[in-house]
Amino acid sequence: MQREITGWFSPALQKHMPVAAYGHYGFALLMIPTAAADYLEYERFQLIDALQPLINGGRMKVFSIDSINNESWMNREMEPAHKAIRHNQFNEYVFHELIPFIRNHCSPDTPIITCGASFGALHAMNLFLKKPDLLNGVISMSGVYDLTEYTRGFFDEQVYFNSPQHYIPNLTEHDILERQRNGRIIIASGSGNYEDPEANRRFSDVLNSKSIPHTLDIWGHDIHHDWPTWRRMLPHLIETHF
């Protein structure tokens, strides 16, 4: 499997941001880490190994990036409003630096699908829904889509605009909604330990209320919030939906 580590000093984040790329051809799968993890998390926990047949087969090229959650929502020493500012800087990094990098690395027409598990699922969903003109879809596994689950009671305008459960019901811009409707949205969850299938059903109801097509895939009570689930789930979702 072709593997490349690169990166650059991000003007948006004012720090070096590494990127791991796996594969040589196919659509671009942009993977957002869980919790406060780094760009090699999916490799360390063998999810890249689970995807290797699809990567080597040219189905997709995977790009994995750093999280900054430990500099925002998961930093208990930080003022809540500053957490939101830092998170928006992460969004700017993805939209204005990372996506052009992927386009240059692949081609201007290569579809880009965001993907994440756990907290990464929320970020992956939020990134797609905010910029469906730049991104082509999302695969979110074992997520919740209400950012207040992570803000310890804090709520302001920036939390609202990064919490899909909150802003999608009030979204009225026709062009954005049409682009969202044309994207490929996969929402998957187990029903086992530490999973929250009801949160996924609630968000599915929100998307349905806006006539945004999507797939809701709820797995059984033996499917827990852990790496064995995602190693099994993600290859299956890609094989069946992409």
Length of the chain: 242
pLDDT of residue 129: 98
Question: Per residue in 137-150, pLDDT tens?
Answer: 999 999 999 999 99
Structure-block tokens of residue 81: 């409003």
Using DSSP, how many helices (H) and how many strands (E) does the chain show? 10, 8
The strand ranges marked E within 147-220 are 184-189, 215-218
Q: What is the pLDDT of residues 30-85, one digit of tens each?
A: 999 999 899 999 999 999 999 999 999 999 999 999 999 999 999 988 998 999 99
**Conformation bin of residue 163: beta by default, left when phi > 0, alpha when psi is -120 to 50:** beta
pLDDT digits (tens, 9 = 90+) for 146-169: 999 999 889 999 999 999 999 999
Torsion of Cα atoms, 115 then 121 then 127 then 132, to 10°: 60
The CATH number assigned to the domain with range 3-241 reads 3.40.50.1820
- What does the pLDDT read at residue 43? 98
pTM over cut 0.95: yes
Nearest by Cα to 238 from 48, 25, 49, 59: 59
Q: Residue 133's CB: how many other CB atoms inside 10 A?
A: 10
* Of 142, 111, 125, 187, nearest in space to 47 by CA: 142
**pLDDT on residue 153:** 86
pLDDT for the residue 1 = 94
Residue 36: what pLDDT?
86
Q: Cβ distance 36 to 70 under 8 Å?
A: yes
- What's 35's DSSP letter? T
Three-state DSSP at 103 gives helix
Percent of the residues in the chain that have a pLDDT greater than 90, as a whole number: 96
Q: pLDDT of 203-221, one tens digit each?
A: 999 999 999 999 999 999 9
By CB neighbour count within 10 A (0-12 exposed, 13-18 middle, 19+ buried), where does 195 fall?
Answer: buried
* Domain residue spans of the chain: 3-241
